[in-house]
Every structure is written in structure tokens, then in C-alpha cells.
């Protein structure tokens, strides 16, 4: 390693997105330092305690040029009882890390937020864009929106450049949640009742999100910038399922069921968020990210193929 190689600290490097991103950054000229809680004696590790308002970041930030902050509390089974947990990790933990990074002379801080700071659906309105007044729903979205506001304030009083990235649902090899459930259902040949769903939703592959972060690390213009980042194609739920099935080499087996019945079934099972993510639209205006010169590395079909077959190159 030469003294000319820039160093990037990646939090959440052992998570779904981090496992995609860290190797790509390392292959493209960055010395990656992974912030971990449970070290495995790897040379690129920096051991920290749980992320929060008093985490000691001094050793992890020594000599660091940029930070990519992926780590966050995303889901909690009893969300209504987890207010302090979301606040401690996603809000206070993020702002404490950013302040420590600024004090350590870090030049660029990239915060991976979420499109959910805008809300969960664009039904009845135009696509979300970066200048919208935020209307987050749920503790996760609200904690990310509050962290963004704190970072904007920090950018005004420090020399460190700050980039906020707002991705929609991220898919790729190792993804969990709704994508994993759909994959299992398609593999098992289970008929899915979404044939008559008419919506448009944005998605982003882990590869494309990584590609934009890499691009942004090389082009850190502006003191504080926000970007909505997604794949080029925004498709309906049944089309997404059909493309996922094609990538798996399986039939989609879609059939129609009245939307009111479907919504009632999801409500009864306590999956109200799935109602919006499966039936509602979530469209994004991607003109700002396109203006940077960045383009998605791969298309939806290739992204789904890689997601199912574990291809990451």
C-alpha cells in the first residue's frame, strides 16, 4: 500500500449492501477500512462498539479520506417500542460519526439514507425529487430524515463535503425481505395474485448503488448534495415478478385477485407496509443524478440475474 492510496471507512460493511460495496471500492483504488463490532482478525478491520452517540471513532478514522455510512437500524419487530433505538443508531449515531469525521479531517462523508424520507408512495402525485418537502412515515424513515437535517447543518459549519444518497428498494445477491420471499415463491411454483396490479416502482441493484457511490467518491462537488439513485427502468409489481421469474428460469404464475381482497389479507396478517410496496407506485425523478454524468452500470434484467445467481462483478 502506498501513501497515495485514499482510505475509505465503510460502516455496515458486513451487511447486505456493504458486502457488495467494499470489494468494489477496493478494486477501484480505495483502501477500504471496515468498521466492525465482531472482528475476525482481518487486516482491513476497525473494531468499534455499537454505533451510537458516544462511539469512539478515533482509531477507525485515523488517516481516513472518506466515509461511506451504510450501517443503520432498519427493522424492529415491535417498532412502536423502538423509538430510542432508532434515534440512538440512525440519528444520534450518524451525526456523532459525522462530527468525529469532520474533526479528524475527513474530506467527504457519504450517507446512505432512504427514499422513505419522502413517504411510501407517489400515488396521486408526481415522482419524488430531491427538492420535495419531506413527509417520512415510520420510525425508520423519520430517523433518516432527521439525520439528513443534522448533516445539512453540519455541512454549513465544517470543511467536510457531505453527500446524501436516497435509494429505493435495493436488490442483489443476499437480499432479504420481500425480494427473498418472492424468490422463494417463484422457485416453489406458488401462484401469485398480482396480475392486475397497475403501478410503477423504482428499484436499484446493489451494483448500481455501489457504482454511484464510487462515482461520487471521485466527484465530490458541492458542500452538501442529495441524490435519488435508482435503476433506469421503473416497472410494475407484476412486471418485476415476471422479470425475476425469467432470471430464475421459472414461470411467473401470476393470476388476478380483487385489490380490495388482497389489501384486506395483508392487513389481517399485519403486513400493511407490504400493501404499499406491492400495490402502490413509487416513482423517482432521476434527472439530478443523470446530470452528474453517472449512468446505471447494469439494467434490471442483468441485476436480477446477478441477484439470483450470486454474480458480483
Looking at the structure, tell me whether residues 102 and 190 fall in a common domain: no
Co-location of 123 and 190 in the same domain = no
Q: Is residue 313 part of a domain?
A: no
Q: Which residues contact 227 (CB under 8 A, 6 or more apart)?
A: 130, 163, 164, 165, 166, 212, 216, 288, 289, 292
Whether 66 maps to a domain, the answer reads yes
Domain that holds residue 96: 7-175+202-232+283-298
Pair (152, 12) in one structural domain: yes
Task: Kindly report, residue by residue over 41-71, the tens digit of the pLDDT.
Answer: 788 999 998 899 999 999 999 999 999 999 9
Say yes or no: 72 and 170 in one domain: yes
Residue 312, domain member (yes or no): no
Note whether residue 106 is domain-resident: yes
Model confidence at 76, in pLDDT bands (50, 70, 90)? Answer: low
140 is catalytic: yes
Inform me whether the pLDDT recorded for 281 exceeds 60.
yes
DSSP-derived pairing of the beta strands 234-235 and 201-205: antiparallel
Residues 54, 121: one domain?
A: yes
Give the least confident one: 29-33, 36-40, 117-121, 274-278. 274-278
**Res 259: pLDDT:** 77
* Same domain? 267 vs 212: no
Q: Give 216-273 pLDDT, tens digit per residue.
A: 999 999 999 999 999 999 999 999 999 999 999 999 999 998 877 877 776 665 555 6
How many domains does one find in the chain? 2
Query: Based on the domain organization, do 167 and 245 belong to the same domain?
Result: no
Confidence (pLDDT) at 137: 85
Residue 307 covered by a domain: no
> How does residue 138 score in pLDDT terms, banded at 50, 70 and 90?
confident
Distance CA 200, CA 127 (A): 10
* Angle at alpha carbon of residue 239, lines to 236 and 241, rounded to 5°: 110
pLDDT value, residue 274: 62
Query: Same structural domain for residues 72 and 85?
Result: yes
Question: Has residue 267 been placed in a domain?
Answer: yes
**Residues 95 and 11 both lie in one domain:** yes
* Confidence at 81, pLDDT banded by 50, 70, 90: low
Residues 19 and 159 in one domain: yes
Are 65 and 109 found together in one domain? yes
User: In this structure, are residues 97 and 147 in contact, taking their beta carbons and an 8 Å threshold?
Assistant: no
Q: Are 57 and 97 in contact (CB under 8 A)?
A: yes
Instruction: Indicate the angle between helix axes 206-218 and 300-309, nearest 10 degrees.
Output: 110
> For residue 1, what pLDDT is reported?
41
DSSP the chain: --TTS-EEEEETTTSHHHHHHHHHHHHTT-EEEEEESS--S-TTEEE--SSSTT---HHHHTT-SEEEE-------TTGGG-HHHHIIIIIIIHHHHHHHHHHTT--EEEEE--GGGS-S--TTSPPB-TTSPP---HHHHHHHHHHHHHHHHHHHSSS-EEEEEE--EEE-TT--THHHHHHHHHHTT--BS-TT----EEEEEHHHHHHHHHHHHH---SSEEEEE---S-EE-HHHHHHHHHHHHTS---B----HHHHHHHHHHTT-HHHHHHHHS-B-B--HHHHHTT---SS-HHHHHHHHHHT---
Is 65 part of any domain?
A: yes
pLDDT in tens, 2-48: 458 999 999 999 999 999 999 999 999 999 999 988 877 788 999 99
For residue 2, the model assigns a pLDDT of 44
The catalytic residue among 30, 57, 128, 140 is: 140
Q: What is the pLDDT of residue 284?
A: 98
Q: Are residues 120 and 257 in the same domain?
A: no
CATH number (domain holding residue 208): 3.40.50.720
Strands, sheet with 7-11, edge to edge from the N-terminal-most edge strand? 45-47, 31-36, 7-11, 66-69, 108-112, 161-166, 224-228
Judge whether 247 lies within some domain.
yes
Amino acid at each position: 500500500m502506498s501513501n497515495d492510496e485514499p482510505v475509505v471507512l465503510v460502516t455496515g460493511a458486513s451487511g447486505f449492501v456493504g458486502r457488495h460495496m467494499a470489494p468494489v471500492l477496493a478494486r477501484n483504488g480505495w483502501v477500504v477500512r471496515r468498521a466492525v463490532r465482531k472482528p475476525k482478525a482481518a487486516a482491513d478491520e476497525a473494531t468499534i462498539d455499537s454505533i451510537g452517540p458516544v462511539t469512539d471513532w478515533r482509531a477507525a478514522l485515523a488517516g481516513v479520506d472518506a466515509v461511506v455510512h451504510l450501517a443503520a437500524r432498519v427493522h424492529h419487530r415491535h417498532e412502536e417500542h423502538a423509538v430510542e433505538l432508532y434515534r440512538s443508531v440512525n440519528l444520534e449515531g450518524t451525526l456523532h460519526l459525522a462530527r468525529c469525521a469532520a474533526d479528524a479531517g475527513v474530506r467527504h462523508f457519504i450517507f446512505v439514507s432512504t427514499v422513505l424520507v419522502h413517504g411510501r408512495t407517489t400515488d396521486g402525485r408526481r415522482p419524488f425529487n430531491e427538492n420535495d418537502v419531506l413527509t417520512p412515515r415510520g420510525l425508520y424513515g423519520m430517523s433518516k430524515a432527521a439525520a439528513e437535517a443534522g448533516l445539512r447543518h453540519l455541512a454549513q459549519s465544517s470543511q467536510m463535503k457531505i453527500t446524501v444518497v436516497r435509494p429505493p428498494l435495493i436488490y442483489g445477491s443476499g437480499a432479504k425481505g420481500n425480494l427473498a420471499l418472492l424468490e422463494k415463491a417463484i422457485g416453489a411454483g406458488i401462484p401469485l395474485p398480482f396480475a392486475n396490479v397497475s403501478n410503477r416502482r423504482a428499484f436499484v441493484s446493489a451494483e448500481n448503488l455501489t457504482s454511484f457511490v464510487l462515482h461520487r467518491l471521485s466527484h465530490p462537488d458541492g458542500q452538501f448534495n442529495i441524490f435519488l439513485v435508482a435503476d433506469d427502468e421503473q416497472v410494475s409489481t407484476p412486471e418485476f415478478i415476471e422479470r425475476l421469474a425469467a432470471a430464475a428460469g421459472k414461470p411467473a404464475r401470476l393470476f388476478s385477485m380483487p385489490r380490495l381482497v388482497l389489501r384486506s389479507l395483508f392487513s389481517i396478517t399485519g403486513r400493511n407496509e407490504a400493501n404499499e410496496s406491492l400495490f402502490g407506485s413509487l416513482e423517482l425523478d432521476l434527472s439530478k443524478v443523470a446530470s452528474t454524468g453517472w449512468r446505471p452500470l447494469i439494467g434490471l434484467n442483468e441485476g436480477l440475474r446477478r441477484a439470483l445467481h450470486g454474480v458480483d462483478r
